Amino acid sequence: MTKSISEDLRSRVIAAVDGGLSRRAAAERFGVAAASAIRWVREWRETGSTRAKPQGGDMRSRRIEAHRDIILGAIEEQVDITLVELAEMLRSQHGAVFATSTIWRFLDRHSMTVKKNSARQRAGAARRSHAATRMVQGPT
């Protein structure tokens, strides 16, 4: 991720536009993209701020977090509920559509992942219950 451009440069571009230059001319003069100059001036006129907005971070988990109590309640009712069943329940009863991967990330954030145990394992190949004895080569 790139760093945001300094507040000083933003202020100089805005001052140049305020002084009569077009946004594109100010962008060319200070060596920044025209789209950036347009965005900075618009933000300054709307809010009066020249500061960069925060970068990165989680921007969408608040949508599923709004359904936290519903999801956790459904898991308490039915401990072995699947991700697909949770997604279907949220869609049909609450009108909230989430991908199963989104629900999995929600559960992972809340330390609620389920690990396999011996009762859930599939039948496998028969194996020896003890280690094989070493072969010893005798005299020839």
Q: What are the DSSP calls for 4-44, one per residue?
A: PPPHHHHHHHHHHHHTT--HHHHHHHHT--HHHHHHHHHHH
| CA nearest neighbour of 33 among 7, 5, 2, 55 | 5
Q: Are 90 and 98 in contact (CB under 8 A)?
A: yes
Q: How many CB atoms lie under 10 A from the CB of residue 21?
A: 17
From 31-40, 53-62, 80-89, 128-137, the region with the lowest mean pLDDT: 128-137
Report the pLDDT value the prediction gives residue 55, as an integer from 0 to 100: 84
Tokens standing for 114? Answer: 């389920």
The whole model's pTM is what?
A: 0.49
Report the pLDDT value the prediction gives residue 113, as an integer from 0 to 100: 73
| pLDDT tens-place string over residues 94-133 | 999 999 999 999 998 888 876 656 655 556 566 655 555 4
Report the pLDDT value the prediction gives residue 70, as an integer from 0 to 100: 95
Sequence spans of domains, the chain? 7-47, 61-113
Q: How many CB atoms lie under 10 A from the CB of residue 9?
A: 15
Has residue 139 got a pLDDT over 80? Answer: no
| pLDDT tens-place string over residues 14-53 | 999 999 999 999 999 999 999 999 999 999 999 999 998 8
Q: How far apart are CA 84 and CA 110, in angstroms?
A: 18
Report the pLDDT value the prediction gives residue 37, as an integer from 0 to 100: 96
Q: Are 50 and 7 in contact (CB under 8 A)?
A: yes
